Amino acid sequence: MQQLERFELLVGKEKLNKISDITVLIIGLGGVGSYAVESLVRCGIKKIIIVDKDVIDITNLNRQLMTLHSNIGHNKVDVIESRIKDINENIQIKKINEFINKENINLLFEEKIDYLIDACDTIETKKEIIRQCVNNNIKLISCMGTGKRLDPSKLKITELKKTSYDPIAKILRKMVRDEKIKQKITVICSEEQPINTNSKIIPSNSFVPASAGLLCTGYIINDILKEE
């Protein structure tokens, strides 16, 4: 049985080949990004660019797909590279082990990208990613906050301008208005109001960020499938 036989039966060989040919960049390999990366690879995508400066910490074990006690202290990009090569040994992986900001944002765009998944936590970086994707006509899906929430069914794929409750989305909506960006910005956002825990640390779980990551993959695959 071929590795992707079940998926090919669902989408057809021609569409599977089209999926395989795209390049996806994922920035942020936490609870959202780690699930997005692996599910994309399991759909047959053959070129992935992964971006994260962090190392695995014991607090990541509750929600990040690749994290184990045995790899605490290892670079996230290296751990994910090893894991997804064990799924598809022929996959092409580019690793960017950097914290991305306005000064080095061009590292993300040194080669052609078909889709970009923004799963990073830094507001200023999210703003710059929107600007760059709009200017370079790159399809973007940006994940809003998944912490402080318990109901994955409240997550949805929507336009940034249609979001509510989410504090990150509120800041980004203002930026888009102020800069008169007219293009549609696709986001994953929860309609659940954040739970106030009075903690400086953002609480999270294993299922809401994971669901958001899978929604990112679903968005990309279905966007490819609907193209004529």
What pLDDT is attached to residue 165?
Answer: 85
**Measured at the alpha carbon of residue 91, what is the angle toward residues 188 and 72, in degrees to the nearest 5?**
70
- Domains of the chain as residue ranges with CATH: 5-226 (3.40.50.720)
Band the pLDDT of 228: cuts 50, 70, 90: low
Structure tokens at 187: 């986001």
Task: State pLDDT tens for residues 111-127.
Answer: 999 999 999 999 999 99
- Cα(6)–Cα(171) distance, rounded to whole angstroms? 42
CB-based burial of residue 86 (10 Å sphere; 0-12 exposed, 13-18 middle, 19+ buried)? exposed
Which one, of 127, 75, 81, 137, lies nearest residue 105 by Cα? 127
CB 41 within 8 A of CB 8: no
The neighbouring-strand residues paired with 94 are 49
What angle do helix axes 167-178 and 123-136 make, rounded to 10 degrees? 50
Residue 63: is its pLDDT beyond 90? yes
Task: State pLDDT tens for residues 143-190.
Answer: 999 999 999 999 999 999 999 889 999 999 999 999 999 999 999 999
